[in-house]
Amino acid sequence: MKQITLLATGGTIASAKSKSSAAVTAGINAETLLQSLPEIPKGLEVQVENFESCGSYALNLETVFRLCSRINTLLDAPDVDGVVVTHGTDTMEESAFVAWLLVRSEKPVVFTGAQRHAGLSDTDGPRNIGDALSAAASDDLFGIGPVILFEGDIHGARYGCKTHTSRVDTFRSVGLGKLGEVDFGEVHLYQRPVHTRPQVAAQALDPNVELIALGLGATPKLMALAGDHGASGIILSAFGRGNAPDGFANETERLTQMGIHVVVASRCFEGRTRAVYGNDSGGVSLVDKGAILAGDLSAVKARLLLSACLGAGYDTVQIARAFAV
C-alpha cells in the first residue's frame, strides 16, 4: 500500500465565503479537504498535515522555502511514497517551480488546487485532490520532478502556468503540451521532461530580486530605482528575443558593475531569448553590457531561479550556467 502525505497550504481549494462579509477566505484544514473526497483512491494510505492556510497571493519566498524544506523532510522518510500539496492557483506555478529547484527526492510531488471555492456546489477541489493522490502514488511519476495536477492534466513545474483567471482548466504548458493525465484514477504519462533538474542547494531564497515588465517606450527609471535601493538582481520581462527600449543597456552596465545581476526574459509565451539585435538596447547590446538571457523561462520563473542561485552563493559564471539549460 502506498503512503501519501497531503500537505495543505490554503488557497481557493481551502476557502469559502466569510460569514461576516462577501469575501472568500482560506481556512479549511487538510483533514476536511480529505473528507470532501467521495472516496480515497484504492491502495493508498493518506496522512494529512497543515502547513499554512492563506491565499497564495499572500505567500512570500521565505514561506515557500520552508514549504520546500518540509517536503524534503517528508520525502526523506522511507515509508512516504509521495506528497500532494494543496495550494492557491495564483502563484502555484511559482511554488511548484521552486520545488522543482529545491526538492532533493525523485519521489512524486504533486501540486493541486481549485478555481471554485469549497462552498460552491460545483467546486473542483475534491476531484483534483483525488487525481493528485493517484498521480503521487504512480511509479510513472518517479524521477520527473514536481508537477501540477489540474482538471485531470499533469504539467511539469518548469513550464506549467496559469492561463485563465477563472476557468477550471486554467493550467497549460503553453506550446509544449502536458506530460500526461489522470482518467478515473488511472495515471497515463505520455512524455517525460528532458531537462535535468538543477536541484539548487540554496540556504534561502533571496527576496531582493525584482521583476520589471517592459512596455512600448518604457524608461529604465524603475530599474535604476531598484538597483539603488537594495536589489540584488533585476529580471526584465522584455520584448521578443530579449530586447528593451533605449537606455536599458546603459543601465544594465551601471548595475552589473555594481554587482547587481540583470537577467533578460521574454514577455512572449513561447520561444527562447537570443542575442540577435544590436543598437540601442537590443539583446546583443544588453548581453554586451553584462545581462544574462533567461532562455525559455518566463520572467516570473527566471526571478525564482536567480533568487535560488543567489541563495546558494552562486557567482556570475554559475548563474549564467544555470540559465543556459
Helix axes 299-311, 92-102, angle to 10 degrees: 40
Q: Which residues pair with 293 in a beta bridge?
A: 264
Whether 86 is catalytic:
no
User: 12, 91, 123, 273: which one is catalytic?
Assistant: 12
User: What is the side-by-side order of every strand in the sheet holding 153-156?
Assistant: 44-50, 2-8, 82-86, 109-112, 147-150, 153-156, 180-183, 186-189
Q: Which residues pair with 243 in a beta bridge?
A: 239
The verdict on whether residue 89 carries a ligand-binding annotation is yes
Whether 12 is catalytic:
yes
152 in Cβ contact with 169 (< 8 Å): no
236 in Cβ contact with 216 (< 8 Å): no
Q: Cell numbers for 141, please give them.
A: 511519476
Of 115, 131, 134, residue with least CA distance to 123: 115
List all residues 6 or more positions away from 212 whose beta carbon is below 8 Å from its beta carbon. Answer: 222, 223, 226, 234, 235, 236, 237
The verdict on whether residue 124 carries a ligand-binding annotation is no
The verdict on whether residue 90 carries a ligand-binding annotation is yes
Q: Cell numbers for 176, please give them.
A: 509544449
309 in Cβ contact with 315 (< 8 Å): no
CA distance 98 to 163: 19
List all residues 6 or more positions away from 262 whose beta carbon is below 8 Å from its beta carbon. Answer: 233, 234, 236, 252, 255, 256, 286, 290, 291, 292
CA distance 134 to 185: 6
Q: Pseudo-torsion of CA 291, 295, 298, 302, nearest 10°?
A: -50
List all residues 6 or more positions away from 257 whose beta carbon is below 8 Å from its beta carbon. Answer: 290
Binding-site residues for substrate sit at 56, 89-90
Residues involved in catalysis: 12, 89
